[in-house]
Amino acid sequence: MLRRMADDDSTYLRLRRMVLDLDPVTAPTAELPRVWGALMDTGYPNGAATVVCLADGTTSLYTSTGGGILGAGAHESVAAPSRQLLAVVEKHLNQMPPSTEDTLPNPDWVVMRALTFTDRRAVPAEEDELAYNRHALAEIFHAFHAVITQLRLLDDDR
């Protein structure tokens, strides 16, 4: 279900590692008392992609095959679904077990990660189980995809 990529100097792995190793970027708020960030890693036959949403507005998409979108949270069309995603992660946080594991998923698998003020949490799942609402945390998956949709629209406009 999870695979480990070679720990080389690729930009993708460095960017992803930087986010996973960050200290909280904000203080707790009434809306987000526990969560300050979320990542979703998706495995593909030829690599992986990671969506990052942080409470300070940072929203990015990294791909292991090169490319991505950085700094998209400055656009309200992306910022709004990013804030909604973090609220959904906060809502479901008790269903996400603590995890320090950081391996990437195999093709057709996803790992949804929560960055909290006290720990990291992660839930691996088959993408189809999430996409077709057959998983308890499908709402988080769909909230991530609302962000991805806006990232793609923003990228198309460029």
Domain segments of the chain as ranges: 2-157
Q: How many CB atoms lie within 10 A of CB 19?
A: 18
Structure tokens at 38: 């979320």
The pLDDT of 74-94, averaged and rounded, is 93
Measured distance CA(118)–CA(7) in Å, rounded: 26
Ordered strands of the 68-69 beta sheet:
68-69, 59-63, 47-54, 35-44, 109-116, 120-126
pLDDT at 103 over 90: yes
Question: Which amino acid is residue 51, in one-letter code?
Answer: V
pLDDT for the residue 99: 97
pLDDT at 136 over 70: yes
Structure tokens at 119: 């720990």
**Average pLDDT score, the chain:** 90
pLDDT for the residue 4: 40
Of the pLDDT bands very low, low, confident and very high (cuts 50, 70, 90), residue 5 is very low
